[in-house]
Structure 1
Amino acid sequence: MGEEANSTQEPPNETMPDNVQALLEAARYADIDDMISLASTGVSLDSKDFEGRTALHMAAANGHLDIVDYLIRNGADLNACNAEKNTPLHWACLNGHVEVIRNLIMAGADVTTLNSHERTPMDEAVSKGKMEVVDAINASVAQVELDGVRVS
C-alpha cells in the first residue's frame, strides 16, 4: 500500500524538474562539484529535460572533457537521444570538440545513429566543414577496431 500512496506525492528526487535542470546546468558550465553533489542525492545522470537533453549532451556540446569523462565513468547513456534524435556525439561533432569525440567513441558511442534529419555525427561534421572532426572520428573508430573493443 505504501507504493500506491507514493504515486500521488512529489516525484522522486531524481526526476524533479529543478534537480534535472541543475544537473544539466552543472554539465553545461563544467561544475563537477555540483554534478557530483546532485548525483549523490539520487539524481540520475541520464535525466532528461523537456527537450530530451541529458548532462552528457550539455557537456559534449560545450567541450567539457572532465565532465564527459565523469559521466562516462559513471555509466551515463552514451547514445541518449534528444527530441531531434541527436546524441551527445552529434553535438560534439557539430561543435568540433575533438577530444570529447575521441573519448565518446572509445567508450562505445554509436557513430551510425541517425538524427531526425537522417544524419550521422559524421554527416553533421561534414555539413559544417569540420574536417578535423571527420579525421578524429575515423581515427577513433580505427583505434576501437584495433583495440578489439568492437567486432564489425
Structure 2
Amino acid sequence: MGVEDSSLGTMSSEDKVDALLEAARYDDMEDITSLVSQGVSLDSKDSQGRTALHMACANGHLDVVEYLISRGVDLNATNVEMNTPLHWACLNGHIEVVKKLILAGATVGVLNSYEKSPIDEAVSGQKMDVIDAINESVAQLELTGIRVS
C-alpha cells in the first residue's frame, strides 16, 4: 500500500482510518506505525465498526496483533454485528492469534448479534484445533489464577 507521510496530511480522518485497517489487513507494520505517528488512534473504527485488531486477527497477522495488544487496544471491540477480534480469529482458524488474544485478556464468552460466541464460530467452521487452542489458553490462565469470562 505504501502510505507516504506527506500524503497523510491531505487525507481525511476517515481515509486515515481506512488506511490503518488496510495496513493491518495486509500486515504492513510500516504503514501502521506511520499512521500512528500522524495521530491516528489504533482503536479507530470504520463504518462497519471494524478496528485494526479485527483486520489483523481475521487475517492471522500475529506480529500486528502483538503490536496492537502492546499498545493497549480494546481487545473486545465489537463491529456492527457485535463480533470481536476473537470471533474473527476463531472463524478463520488462526490458532496463534486466538491464543495471544485470550492470554492478553480477550473475553471468550461474548456473544455476537447472532448469539454466537467465538467458540461457536470455531465449531460452525469445524475448526477443532481452534477449540483446542481456546481450551488450552483458558486452562493456562486459570492455572495462573486469572479469571476468564
User: Which TM-score applies when normalising by structure 2?
Assistant: 0.90
Matched, 1:126 2:123: yes
Partner of 1:60: 57
Amino acid at match of 1:50: S
Matched, 1:85 2:82: yes
Distance apart, 1:151 and its partner CA: 6.5
* Cα 1:23–1:125 shift into 2, 3 Å: same
Of the candidates 143, 146, 149, which is equivalent to residue 149 of structure 1? 146
The question of whether the paired residues in 1 share the 8 Å contact of 2:90 and 2:122 is answered with yes
Distance in 2 separating the partners of 1:61 and 1:150: 26
Structure 1 counterpart SS, 2:130: helix
* Cα 1:144–1:119 shift into 2, 3 Å: same
Partner of 1:117: 114
* Cα 1:99–1:48 shift into 2, 3 Å: same
Structure 1 counterpart SS, 2:64: helix
Partner of 1:96: 93
Distance in 1 separating the partners of 2:86 and 2:135: 13
Matched, 1:106 2:103: yes
Matched, 1:22 2:19: yes
Distance in 1 separating the partners of 2:35 and 2:146: 31
Distance apart, 1:86 and its partner CA: 0.2
Matched, 1:74 2:71: yes
Distance apart, 1:40 and its partner CA: 1.2
Amino acid at match of 1:39: V
Gaps of 5+ in 1: 1-12
The sequence identity of aligned pairs, in percent, is: 68
Structure 2 counterpart SS, 1:45: coil
User: Which TM-score applies when normalising by structure 1?
Assistant: 0.88
| Rg comparison, structure with higher value | 1
